[in-house]
């Protein structure tokens, strides 16, 4: 495994990003530093970083991959299709969900890769429907 300048660049861009970033955004961030950045290299670097466990990815409400540096607690994401809001899935719910799937056939849910879309409480009450 080689520590190349382009990998350094991606790691820097990642740590400089709070929360979640899509690969395309990362390409941009890297380009801000080094305009010669190549997309394929960034995509491939993200793959290795994930194999190394340094980052994890989930999917936005639209299915697009979103990366985030490995956080303290593994967590999934919740998206409101009405207001566009997004939240991390709380420990409590996460446990309930994991348990629900584990109970049936021993299915082990990959929490950090879990994306749940729906309508948040606020929108549900407001929008009626």
Tell me which residues touch DNA (CB under 7 A). 1-7, 22-24, 36-41, 43-45, 48, 64-65
DSSP character at residue 21: B
| Smallest distance from DNA to CB 9, Å | 9
| Smallest distance from DNA to CB 125, Å | 29
Q: At what angle do helices 39-51 and 5-15 cross, to 10 degrees?
A: 70
Residue 96 binds: one of DNA, Zn ion, its own copies, none (C-beta under 5 to 8 A by kind): its own copies
Residue tagged 């299709």 (tokens):
81
Q: Fill in the per-residue mask, 109 to 128: x = in contact with Zn ion (CB under 5 A), - = not in contact.
A: -----------x--x-----
| Smallest distance from DNA to CB 78, Å | 20
Residue 85, interface with Zn ion (CB under 5 A)?
Answer: yes
In 3D space, the residue among 36, 34, 14, 38 whose CA is nearest the CA of residue 26 turns out to be: 14
In 3D space, the residue among 19, 110, 114, 120 whose CA is nearest the CA of residue 76 turns out to be: 114
């Amino acid at each position: 495994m080689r520590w190349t300048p382009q990998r350094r660049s991606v790691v820097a861009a990642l740590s400089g990003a709070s929360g979640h970033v899509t690969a395309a955004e990362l390409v941009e961030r890297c380009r801000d530093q080094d305009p010669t950045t190549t997309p394929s290299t960034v995509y491939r670097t993200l793959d290795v970083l994930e194999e190394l466990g340094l980052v994890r990815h989930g999917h936005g409400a639209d299915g697009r991959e979103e990366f985030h540096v490995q956080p303290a607690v593994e967590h999934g994401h919740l998206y409101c299709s009405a207001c566009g809001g997004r939240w991390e899935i709380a420990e409590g719910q996460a446990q309930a969900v994991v348990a629900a799937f584990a109970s049936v056939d021993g299915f082990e849910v990959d929490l950090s890769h879990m994306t749940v879309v729906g309508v948040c409480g606020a929108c549900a009450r407001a929008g009626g429907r």
